[in-house]
A and B are shown apart, each in its own frame.
Chain A
């Protein structure tokens, strides 16, 4: 992917990611997150990871964020009321996050592999769904089964947690 496109999608992702945490309205935050995920999916596609890119949109943006919006609607959340700001906590948290950012940037800046450019592939179009699938069902079969069980458990858990008291 040409560099400008990369930067475009990257900026979109980052800006809307920031908007998630800046917005006061929860619905606006959720929708910003959806757009952020779209940008992320584009970045996945730029990395020739087509399967992951599609899955990102289908599962995350399609299912997870829908669930979020359902819950926001269910709880009928309004915009967050203004409460007295705890300045100490705010400054502390901001500092910690900034420190972490600084550290990550400096680490990335120092490593040699960071300068690696996109290596060539065996062919311009690769069938990554097939490759991922082969790997998944071959080497990672057991984890796959376990994940399946985990999803079932989560489903049952959600049902149990959401039950109201039987009258």
Chain B
């Protein structure tokens, strides 16, 4: 029984997805039931796994070349993975329930739930994998599920393009990931995490190799967790349904990068240069995303950039050599970000799929429960005392203060920005007067959408306390920084909130107009330019080779050579008898020479 639990937790969502695709695509209610049932089952299994100490799962030997390559299909079941199991299945279950209400009128409901179950299966695979190759396979599967879900409304060009963009950008990161895995395998001879740690001493003699391998593995996290420069897919991924944004692009999939780095923390922390790069990339991402978020007008885009920013914090923590701090923030972020997305979804549905914040307003009066839970989420995100985000964000800031003051300063400024754009969002959407007819007449969402909001709000409130989080995670050590740490972030948060409140209260349009930030710092245009020009250059090179080297050179060359040869030979046919006779005699002379005199 004990060894079956992990397998059933992993495989039941897959079976659900397969059943829906193969048999029940027409029967929408049945599909919903199967999918939600499957994820609840996995959640129960996860709880059981968590509560027991003696869980050991049977391993399947998939590839086994002794001494060369051993790739099993097996599970790691330590505290970290058990906690992630709970987060994935728990938040996943809540979002499944939310989706029942959200996708009620959608025609592709069955397809949606099939893809959602596939996602749960893939994500659990990443969490449970005990070796790099298995993790990579599920890594790609998660990318596929994300593609399917972002492109759920594929009839819209924007959604189809966004799905492509997400998958391709991820592939770029995964290429580096694969190279990193190969390098590590080459150096240690194994891909299994448990066996890798003792063999790292061999790599210590070649620090450059180790740094390069770690940075390449980090590329995978850069792609999956949308760090700079591969962050461009996450804002566009908001084209997918809001529950998808909540589950995949806030709570779980984008956290996979952080999880992976913590899982191989022994490898990452062996290279100080790589750590420095990682921490700086996290910081840059956090800062960049925070700046852009202050000028966005789409509610989901603001939350997407907020996710980017918080992921930057987590990666920053990983780079500052504290996986526990990163996991702590991941833990709390899962709850409040999912909450914020689901709340936004509730508002969007109430306003008949309107997403521009300047057409909302005054929702605090109409959507009471959504308003309350959204406030909880906002306060948690900006780090208001007693909410979960306060504890985890302060932990990261304390870490930065102790290890890298420059990064601390930038992180502090980002906290200020976080408060600014979240309060801006909150004020514009929920306070003031409704700015459109639909905003005026909005009504609260159905119960299936409200229950998850409540549950997540409770978790966002309690998530930071030691008695709650300490059961699941190894909490980071306390850094004794005196009063600096509680004080400075509070100052930043207050400053940001007050500034936003004063600027945006009672406004109908945005008083600030910073073009560069509004246009996302022109990074998308820059990438498009690069791709267009490299493709152009490659195409021109191929055309040149094809037209001049192959066509003119080889093909035409062969025919021209034959033709030329023939023309030359034709010159012998002069019609002159004596010329023939001379050639004839010449031949005879040569033959006699070769036969007799050699």
Contact A103 B586, beta carbon cutoff 8 Å: no
CB < 8 Å neighbour of B582 from A96, A103, A106, A107: A96
Q: Give 16 A-B contacts (CB < 8 Å), ordered by A residue.
A: A89-B578, A89-B582, A93-B581, A93-B582, A96-B582, A96-B585, A96-B589, A99-B589, A100-B588, A100-B589, A100-B592, A103-B589, A103-B593, A103-B597, A107-B592, A107-B596
By beta carbon, the residue of chain B nearest A101 is B589
Contact A97 B596, beta carbon cutoff 8 Å: no
Q: Is A119 interfacial (CB-CB < 8 Å)?
A: no
Contact mask B575-586 → A, CB, 8 Å, 1/0?
Answer: 000110110011
CA distance in complex: A97, B586 (Å): 9
CA distance in complex: A100, B588 (Å): 8
A residues 78-135 near B (Cβ < 8 Å) are: 89, 92-93, 96-97, 99-100, 103, 106-107
How extensive is the interface on chain A, given as a class?
10 to 19
Nearest CB of chain A from residue B292's CB, rounded to whole Å = 85
Nearest CB of chain A from residue B583's CB, rounded to whole Å = 9
How many chain B residues touch the partner (CB < 8 A)?
12
Contact A97 B585, beta carbon cutoff 8 Å: yes
Taking CB atoms, residues of chain B closer than 8 Å to A107 are: 592, 596
Contact A103 B596, beta carbon cutoff 8 Å: yes
Best-buried of A92, A96, A97 by chain B (most CB within 10 Å): A96
Give B contacts to A, CB under 8 Å: 578-579, 581-582, 585-586, 588-589, 592-593, 596-597
- Judged by DSSP, the binding face of A is helix
CA distance in complex: A97, B579 (Å): 13
Taking CB atoms, residues of chain B closer than 8 Å to A97 are: 585
Nearest CB of chain B from residue A23's CB, rounded to whole Å = 18
- Judged by DSSP, the binding face of B is helix
Taking CB atoms, residues of chain B closer than 8 Å to A96 are: 582, 585-586, 589
By beta carbon, the residue of chain B nearest A93 is B582
A residues 22-38 near B (Cβ < 8 Å) are: none
Taking CB atoms, residues of chain B closer than 8 Å to A99 are: 589
Taking CB atoms, residues of chain A closer than 8 Å to B582 are: 89, 92-93, 96
By beta carbon, the residue of chain B nearest A99 is B589
Taking CB atoms, residues of chain B closer than 8 Å to A92 are: 582, 586
CA distance in complex: A93, B582 (Å): 6
Q: Which 10 A-B residue pairs are closest in the complex by CB-CB distance?
A: A96-B585, A99-B589, A103-B592, A93-B582, A96-B586, A100-B589, A92-B582, A96-B582, A107-B596, A96-B589
Contact A93 B578, beta carbon cutoff 8 Å: yes
CA distance in complex: A131, B579 (Å): 44
Taking CB atoms, residues of chain A closer than 8 Å to B596 are: 103, 107
CA distance in complex: A53, B589 (Å): 31
Nearest CB of chain A from residue B4's CB, rounded to whole Å = 98
By beta carbon, the residue of chain A nearest B587 is A96
Taking CB atoms, residues of chain A closer than 8 Å to B586 are: 92, 96
Taking CB atoms, residues of chain A closer than 8 Å to B578 are: 89, 93
CA distance in complex: A100, B585 (Å): 8
Taking CB atoms, residues of chain A closer than 8 Å to B593 are: 103
Taking CB atoms, residues of chain A closer than 8 Å to B592 are: 100, 103, 107
